[in-house]
Amino acid sequence: MSGFRIYVPGDAAAVAVGADDVAAVIAAAAARSRTAVDIVRNGSRGLHWLEPMVEVATAQGRIAYGPVAVADAEAVFQAIAADGGAHRLRLGDPQEIPFLKSQRRLTFARCGIVDPRSLDDYRAHDGYKGLERALAMTAAAVVEQVAQSGLRGRGGAGFPTGIKWKTVADTAAGQKYIVCNADEGDSGTFADRMIMEGDPFVLIEGMTIAGIAVGATQGYIYIRSEYPHAVAVLTAAIAAARKAGMLGKAVAGSPYAFDLEIRLGAGAYVCGEETALLDSLEGKRGMVRAKPPLPAHKGLFGRPTVINNVLSLATVPVILDQGAAFYRDFGMGRSRGTMPIQLAGNIRYPGLYETAFGITLGQLVEGIGGGTASGRPVRAVQVGGPLGAYFPPALFDVPFDYEAFAKADGLIGHGGIVVFDDTVDMARQARFAMEFCGIESCGKCTPCRVGSTRGVEVIDRIIAGRDRPANTALLEDLCNTMKFGSLCALGGFTPYPVMSALTHFPEDFGAPPRLQAAE
Ligand SMILES: Cc1cc2nc3c(=O)[nH]c(=O)nc-3n(C[C@H](O)[C@H](O)[C@H](O)COP(=O)(O)O)c2cc1C
Ligand code: SF4
């Protein structure tokens, strides 16, 4: 029997449910049967309920099995050795699984498919084609492509990436920087981690293109220390890119220099805020800086700096490769392209779902996600991390679009959706939002530092039934003070989860239930 190439994800989500042990059992079974195997630790495809999802490359394409428990691994290997043969966990061609088949993967095109540590595999799957195109253009034309694509920052604020790059490009300085925000602090989000673990070269390529476009020669990737697998894969990928001349003094033999370093964050939510992140990168305590000056003018070490989220940067190569018009063609309104959406919490099919903007919340939660894992009715979903609003099913027709979400008093943020069933207590969730803000506040401004603690106290009084009308009015007043008086979005957006809980679920705060148009 000739050898097999077997894929066992080394992604943290798969490792958390036993992928390392599954890989070890398969390696041992192969050794015993003297079968040559090449076990690739790929990234996850993002079908998390099927992890560990083991795949084998056959002449007919990849065949998947999952979820493979350690106890099943030996039998699954026997099926694999029968060239992708029968087993009760056999899923067939992974691309045909409806959750994957209905996606439009542009940013995640290679994730789960390639060997994340192999530059050759990256190139074999259209890697570095975007850089090749960028090198054939002027720097200004690269910035223009990104602007024309309509790409908006995927870190949360949705700021147009092209405008940010143009500001840095137009600012004269001897040294400029590209900083990648890989702090990924939002609850229910894991897309940055998946890219770094499953397709790290796409981030390296995106940052290199950014450097060339704005005239920066040095980049930093700021990763949370809770992501050791991502750090390991990225470190290997950066070394491979450097060795191949894709990073360094002459990128791909061009006159451009660009190199990268990884820096670890120590785990403060506020260090995901771009100016606090820059302080942290400079070795200081992460405190939010007042703006202006913008980081684009005076950022890292006082130099012009592009700071972008992992997904924003990882989307740049496909834009350069396929062209701005191709990317801009997807989406709705001013939300162009695709969004990697993360389905989490109490949901039947959790995972990564990349699709064009415009899909509704209901399609995502009830359709793609299959409703709750508990089988109980969905009561609320929080979109956009801990600062995002809670939506009731009555608002499930809201499309995934920055402006539509803002109109519904919510935010898309980093695209995380956390689902709750009808056992959730929304007054407790509102309390949690204030408590989280109090714990994570950098302490620089009063509405956030003091307001969050007062907020917990007021909600406690409401929960205890003490003078509810007066305390509810006080809570609304406090939320307005935080919203309009805070220096950054930590204090400024905490009112979103609190006020949405109060507005849509008043019965949990001891008030009469709200009459929903749909009911
Ligand atoms: C409290 C707070 C936490 C944030 N955390 C993150 C984060 O973990 N990752 C991220 O990319 N952006 C985060 N942001 C947004 C960044 O400040 C910034 O908008 C982003 O890095 C810009 O990149 P983009 O334009 O590509 O989105 C956070 C913002 C705030 C206010
Ligand atoms: S809102 Fe909170 S986190 Fe932001 S600057 Fe003020 S105190 Fe710091």
Q: Are strands 335-336 and 351-356 parallel, antiparallel or unpaired?
A: unpaired
Q: Distance between CA 263 and CA 260 in Å, rounded?
A: 10
Number of the ligand closest to the Cα of 286: 2
What's the pLDDT score for residue 1?
43
Residue 21 · residue 32 · CB < 8 Å: no
Report whether residue 123 contacts ligand 2, using a CB cutoff of 6 Å. Answer: no
Is residue 46 within 8 Å of 13, Cβ to Cβ? no
Q: Rounded CA gap, 361 and 355, in Å?
A: 12
pTM, 2 dp: 0.97
Ligand 2 binding pocket mutation candidate from 291, 441, 452 (most atoms within 8 A of CB): 441
Neighbour order of strands in the sheet with 54-58: 37-40, 4-7, 54-58, 61-65, 90-92
152, 163, 309, best to mutate for ligand 1 pocket (most atoms within 8 Å of CB) = 309
Please name the helix (run of DSSP H) or strand (run of DSSP E) that holds residue 63, with its range, or none. Answer: strand 61-65
- Sequence-distant (≥ 6) Cβ neighbours of residue 107 within 8 angstroms: 195, 202, 311, 314, 315, 318, 338, 340, 354
Atom nearest to 482 CA in ligand 2? 1
Which contacts qualify for 512-517: CB closer than 8 Å, 24 or more apart? 516/392, 516/394, 517/394
Enumerate residues 6+ apart whose C-beta is below 8 A from 329: none
Burial class (CB in 10 A: 0-12, 13-18, 19+), 272: buried
Mean pLDDT of the chain: 96
Q: How big is the CA angle at 343 (ends 338 and 349), to the nearest 5 degrees?
A: 115
Single-letter code of the amino acid located at 55: E
DSSP state of 512: P
Report the 3 state secondary structure along 206-275.
Answer: HHHHHHHHHCCCEEEEEEECCCHHHHHHHHHHHHHHHHCCCCECCHHHCCCCEEEEEEEECCCHHHHCHH
Question: Rounded distance, CA 503 to CA 205, Å?
Answer: 44
Question: In the prediction, which pLDDT does 267 show?
Answer: 85
pLDDT at residue 349, as a whole number: 98
Residue range 209-266, pLDDT digits in tens: 999 999 999 999 999 999 999 999 999 999 999 999 999 999 999 999 999 999 999 8
Question: How high is the pLDDT of residue 84?
Answer: 84
pLDDT of residue 137: 97
Tokens 């392209």, located at residue: 337
What are 404-438's pLDDT values in tens digits? 999 999 999 999 999 999 999 999 999 999 999 99
Please enumerate in sequence order all residues whose Cβ is within 8 A of that of 354, keeping only pairs 6 or more positions apart, or say none: 103, 104, 105, 106, 107, 108, 338, 339, 340, 341
Helical H segments across 342-425, by residue range: 361-362, 402-407
- Return the SS3 of 320: helix
pLDDT at 516: 56
Question: How many whole angstroms from 322 Cα to the centroid of ligand 1?
Answer: 27
Q: Is the CB of 312 under 6 A from ligand 1?
A: yes
Low-confidence ranges of the chain (pLDDT < 70): 1-2, 515-519
pLDDT digits (tens, 9 = 90+) for 60-117: 999 999 999 999 999 999 999 988 899 999 999 999 999 999 999 999 999 999 999 9
| Close Cβ partners of 513 (under 8 Å, ≥ 6 residues apart) | 506, 507
